Amino acid sequence: MIKKFFVTGTDTNVGKTIISSILLKKATAAGYKTAGYKPVSSGYQNTSCSILNNDAVTLKKSSSIILSTKEINPISFFENAPPHILSIFKKKNIKTEELSLGLKNITNKSNWILVEGAGGWYTPLSYKDTFSNWVKQEKLTVIIIIPIKLGCINHAILTEKAIISENIKCGGWIANNIFPKDKYNIYYIQTLLSYIKSPFLGEVPYLKNKNKINFKKIKIKLPE
Give the pLDDT of residue 51. Answer: 54
What does pTM read for this prediction?
0.94
Distance linking the first and last C-alpha atoms of the chain: 12
Domains of the chain: 3-217 (3.40.50.300)
Q: What is the CA radius of gyration of the chain?
A: 17
Give the pLDDT of residue 63. Answer: 98
pLDDT tens column, 51-78: 578 999 999 999 999 999 999 999 999 8
pLDDT tens column, 171-189: 999 999 999 988 999 999 9
Strand pairing class (51-52; 75-77): unpaired
Which phi and psi angles does 166 have, rounded to 5°?
-100, 15
Alpha helices (H) in the chain, listed in sequence order: 16-29, 54-62, 69-72, 83-89, 96-107, 131-138, 152-165, 185-195
- Give the model's confidence band at 44: pLDDT under 50 very low, under 70 low, under 90 confident, else very high: confident
Answer yes or no: is pLDDT of 45 > 80: no
Mean pLDDT of 104-111: 98
What's the chain's length in residues? 224
- Give the model's confidence band at 5: pLDDT under 50 very low, under 70 low, under 90 confident, else very high: very high
Give the pLDDT of residue 211. Answer: 77
Please enumerate in sequence order all residues whose Cβ is within 8 A of that of 17, keeping only pairs 6 or more positions apart, or say none: 54, 55, 58, 59, 116
* Residue 20 amino acid letter: S
Q: How many CA atoms lie within 13 A of 116 on its CB side?
A: 35
38 classed as catalytic: yes
Catalytic residue (one of 38, 61, 109, 183): 38
Which phi and psi angles does 98 have, rounded to 5°?
-70, -40
Among 49-63, 149-163, 182-196, the range scoring the smallest mean pLDDT is 49-63
**What is the Cα–Cα distance from 73 to 156, expressed in whole angstroms?**
27
**What is the Cα–Cα distance from 120 to 117, expressed in whole angstroms?**
8
Q: How many other CB atoms are found less than 10 A from the CB of residue 17?
A: 24
pLDDT tens column, 123-137: 999 999 999 999 999
Q: What is the DSSP letter of 223?
A: P
Q: What is the DSSP letter of 168?
A: -
**What is the Cα–Cα distance from 185 to 223, expressed in whole angstroms?**
23
- CA nearest neighbour of 222 among 199, 205, 206, 191: 199
Judge whether 103 and 39 are in contact, CB under 8 Å: yes
Residue 46 host element (H or E): strand 45-46
Judge whether 36 and 62 are in contact, CB under 8 Å: yes
